Amino acid sequence: MTSCWIITEGMAGTENQCLGVAEALGVMPVIKRISLKQPWKSLSPFLGFEQPFSFTGDTLDAPYPDIVLASGRKAIAAARYIKKVSKGETFVVQIQDPRISPKHFDLVAVPHHDPTRGDNVVVTHAAPNRITDEKLKVAAQDFKDVLAPLPLPRVAVLIGGNSKAYKMTAEITRKLCADLLALAQSGYGLMVTASRRTGEENAAIINESLRHENIYVWDGQGENPYFAFLGTADFMIVTADSVSMISEAATTGKPVYMLPLDGGTPRFNKFHNHLLENGIIRTFEGSLKEYSYAPIRDAKLVAWEIKSRIGKPL
């Protein structure tokens, strides 16, 4: 059986990208969460000065795996270290732009909005993720009774919130809730979930405003219905702040409407514009219309590149 390590700093977003690729490969990964000691923590991973004693957290001792999937700045150092000490026997994949030359890895996977390119670089539409049709079918069945009262068509509303790049103001939240209530009153069934970034004020507005028999707002208690929402929905509305949620929604092949927020960065703008220009997402302006596009399959794309470059069955 092919052995695989996932190496990250322990952040859920980067870890899920690696898990999505591992699952698409059909391997059972060992998850390694690491950090760096000083002075390596402050040094650029471009220097390649890592030693066995540079790391804290889970051990990176031999025997080394057939494949490493790494993501995150500190994981770059670990990926380079394993490529060196395994004498090239481990196929090392860096997911997300390492911002150093891709020649230090066997394969680099970057989203379209990042600049790194090269012969060993695979360019994805968005972020690889764990969404599969089968997972969504299972989740939809698990929550069938909970969501049964909601009419069709159904809309999954995935709300993020405040971040370094974006501000979700109370005004934006009230306008969103007014639009959502209008959809519910016109016969749509709405499934709403917020996040920690939404904030207490916005969460209170959502809970107070969206009281309607056609709206289900998850209260954060019990099993998370996120996959069930994606599996059951006919449409998606997603706030602009989350690359992960937009990527996951677009993996379904269902219409995805992005809700703009205050702020943004050139990198986020490139991400949104690429998906808008390719007809994958649309901007939410209060109404919903059917449209079609080829579902994003970024995890499968990266997995296919790994398999083809290794050149043998996994």
Extents of the domains making up the chain: 4-125+299-310, 133-283
What is the rounded average pLDDT of the residues 132-143?
A: 98
The DSSP output letter for 26 is: T
What local confidence, expressed as pLDDT, does residue 244 receive? 95
Whether CATH 3.40.50.2000 fits 133-283? yes
For 232, other C-beta atoms within 10 Å of its C-beta total 24
**Does 39 have pLDDT greater than 80?**
no
Asked if 74 contacts 99 with a C-beta cutoff of 8 angstroms, the reply is no
- Main-chain dihedrals φ then ψ at residue 157, nearest 5 degrees: -110, 110
**Does 216 have pLDDT greater than 80?**
yes
Q: At 188, which amino acid appears?
A: Y
Residue-wise pLDDT tens digits, 40-87: 555 555 555 565 547 677 889 999 999 999 999 889 989 998 999 999
4-125+299-310 and 133-283: identical CATH topology: yes
What local confidence, expressed as pLDDT, does residue 50 receive? 62
Residue-wise pLDDT tens digits, 249-281: 999 999 999 999 999 999 999 999 999 999 999
What is the rounded average pLDDT of the residues 79-108?
A: 94
Question: For the CA atoms of the chain, what is the radius of gyration?
Answer: 21
Structure tokens at 123: 């360019």
Q: Which CATH class is domain 4-125+299-310?
A: alpha beta
- Strand, helix or coil for residue 186: coil
Q: Which residue has the tokens 């052995």?
A: 3
Q: What is the average pLDDT value for the chain, to the nearest integer?
A: 93
**Does the bond joining 151 to the residue before it have cis omega, within 30 degrees of 0?**
no
What local confidence, expressed as pLDDT, does residue 311 receive? 83
Please state, in angstroms and rounded to a whole number, the distance separating the CA atoms of residues 154 and 140.
Answer: 12
Please state, in angstroms and rounded to a whole number, the distance separating the CA atoms of residues 205 and 35.
Answer: 39
| pTM (two decimals) | 0.92
In this predicted model, which residue has the larger pLDDT, 140 or 42?
Answer: 140
What local confidence, expressed as pLDDT, does residue 141 receive? 98
What is the rounded average pLDDT of the residues 88-116?
A: 95
**Does 177 have pLDDT greater than 80?**
yes
Please state, in angstroms and rounded to a whole number, the distance separating the CA atoms of residues 19 and 4.
Answer: 11
Residue-wise pLDDT tens digits, 22-32: 999 999 999 99
Structure tokens at 48: 């390649």
What is the rounded average pLDDT of the residues 292-301?
A: 98
Asked if 78 contacts 60 with a C-beta cutoff of 8 angstroms, the reply is yes
Asked if 271 contacts 244 with a C-beta cutoff of 8 angstroms, the reply is no
